[in-house]
Amino acid sequence: MEGCITDLMYLCGIFLRWRPLSIPECVFGTSGDCHLRWLREKRCTGKGEAMEKKNETEIRKGKVSALLPIGVFLVIFLGAGVVFQDFYAMPAIVAFLIALFTAFLQSRRAGFDENVKVIARGVGEENIITMSLIFLCAGGFSGAVTAAGGVDSTVNLGLSLIPAHFIVAGLFIISCFISVSMGTSMGTIAALAPIAAGISKGTDFPMAVCIAAVVCGAMFGDNLSMISDTTIAAVKTQGCDMKDKFKANFLIVLPAAVLTILFFWLITRGMSYDIEYGEYHLLQVIPYLVVLIGALIGFNVFLVLIAGTVLSLVVGVGTGTIALSEMFTVVGDGIVSMYDITVISIVVACIVSLVRENGGIHFILNLIRSRIRGKKGAQAGIAALALLVDLCTANNTVAIVMSGPIAKEISEEYGVDPKRSASLLDMFTSVGQGLIPYGAQLLSAATLTGLTPFDIIPYLVYPILMAVCGIAAIAVTRR
């Protein structure tokens, strides 16, 4: 009897496309319901396994529908910019929160608790946590060194070293140094725009040329500075050291910087300007040098930033620019200034986690794979992706945080060095940010000088030359 039942179950297994199964002892029991229940359980298990395999296949292939949250963000953010004629009328964090809500709705079948677990894993990644903490430390250093008079002293020191006949080209060089030291293009433009306006009024140089030199230098430093939020985001999403990225990136953009100096010298040659500058203290410049040199040597970035902050406070109190009672306040103000980008980075990590879980990242990867061949194509794909996302978001840091995970997977698959992929991300988002008329940098420069962004764009040669150098670097890559 037992043999007959076994044969019958085996035949049923073939009919239902099961593989031969071991028969539980309960089948041979007295209860007729037991083996029927076993049959139902095995059939449900088979369907569950088939459904799971189908879902895994779909995720590997990728689903364009999984990109809906990113599409919602772009429609809301860009739509508000067009409607209100101001691309900063809609705060990016609000648009991203709406996109995150959309991602939760799209993944509602998985359940709220499961979606929270997915985003918790994404936000809890080492690179995201490290990046957020570095943002805060960089903000603390920036607040302390600015309050200590580091910005004013650095500007005045630079002006004192520029020959009178080299003033506009020198303005570009000063802007490069200040932005590398401060780690912010916006801060550099705000500090040097009044000086550029004064030089224009004291000479026949067009205002657009003078402020363009400042913007070009600001984008140079934004791309290379060790404490720039773009550099921090690029190296952490790609998993490389800052000093390695700096060296690789610097060698690529150096020709662009040299040609930019020549450009501004040629169009302003034959004219000099008596430079007026205020007092400066070399002690107030030292914190910038300590952070820059320490990062280049390869010291831990947290230790470098903390040491720079402490040194700035000591210098500030010693020179009388910071009251003893305000020491913690100036550091706190600097940290608060980084809250926005830190929170945005966390929310973007949440969105990317859900998009990846639903197959959106795989869709983009497969789309890029179908159009690239080899290492050169992979680098070109990373560059194009970074530029496109920046054009859509008008924020190079956010663009790096969004495109970084995709670039990481492309670089790993095609053997692109992490320092090269980090450099390409940072460079081509800076290219877009330095040229788009609705970006914060050009809007700020135009507002401070009474011009329009379109008046300045014709003289923004550095972002264009940086793109050319980046493309050339990709072209000469060994297979």
Please name which of 262, 281, 274 lies closest in space to residue 320, comparing C-alpha atoms.
281
Q: Which residues of 22-31 are buried (b: 16+ CB within 10 A; e: fewer)?
A: ebeeebeeee
pLDDT confidence band for 166 (50 / 70 / 90): confident
Identify whether residues 304 and 419 lie together within a single domain: yes
Do 34 and 90 belong to one domain?
Answer: no
Q: How many CB atoms lie within 10 A of CB 12?
A: 13
333's tokens? 């103000």
Q: What percent of the chain has pLDDT over 70?
A: 85
Residues 55 and 163 in one domain: no
User: Which of 19, 42, 61 corresponds to the end of one domain?
Assistant: 61
Query: Out of 5-19, 120-134, 214-228, 239-253, which region has the weakest mean confidence (pLDDT)?
Result: 5-19
Residues 6+ apart with CB under 8 A from 159: 170, 174, 195, 275, 277
pLDDT tens figures, 39-72 = 455 555 554 454 445 455 545 567 888 889 888 9
274 in the same domain as 189: yes
Q: Is residue 419 predicted with pLDDT exceeding 80?
A: yes
pLDDT class for 421, splitting at 50, 70, 90? very high
Least confident of 132-136, 170-174, 270-274, 323-327: 270-274
Q: What is the pLDDT of residue 40?
A: 53
Q: Do residue 35 and residue 87 come from a single domain?
A: no
Other CB atoms within 10 A of residue 446 CB? 21
Q: Are residues 308 and 364 in the same domain?
A: yes
Same domain, 45 and 155: no
Two tokens, residue 377: 């194509």
The CA angle 158-458-430, to the nearest 5 degrees, is 65
Range in 56-70, 143-157, 314-328, 450-464 the model is least confident about: 56-70
What DSSP string describes 420-439?
Answer: HHHHHHHHHHHHHHTT-TTS
Instruction: Give the end of a domain, one of 61, 93, 111.
Output: 61
Say yes or no to pLDDT of 88 above 60.
yes
pTM, 2 dp: 0.75
Q: Residue 40 belongs to what domain range?
A: 2-61
- Split at pLDDT 50, 70, 90, the class of 10 is very low
What value does the CA radius of gyration of the chain take, rounded to a whole number of Å?
Answer: 28
Both 389 and 283 in one domain: the answer is yes
> Which of 41, 61, 81 delimits the end of a domain?
61
Q: Are residues 32 and 147 in the same domain?
A: no
Are residues 179 and 56 both part of a single domain?
Answer: no
pLDDT per residue over 251-306, tens digit each? 999 999 999 999 999 988 876 666 677 788 889 999 988 888 888 787 888 888 99
Total of domains in the chain: 2
| Residue 56 and residue 74 in one domain | no
Q: Which pLDDT belongs to residue 60?
A: 55
State whether 358 and 407 are in the same domain: yes
Q: Say if residue 359's pLDDT is above 60.
A: yes
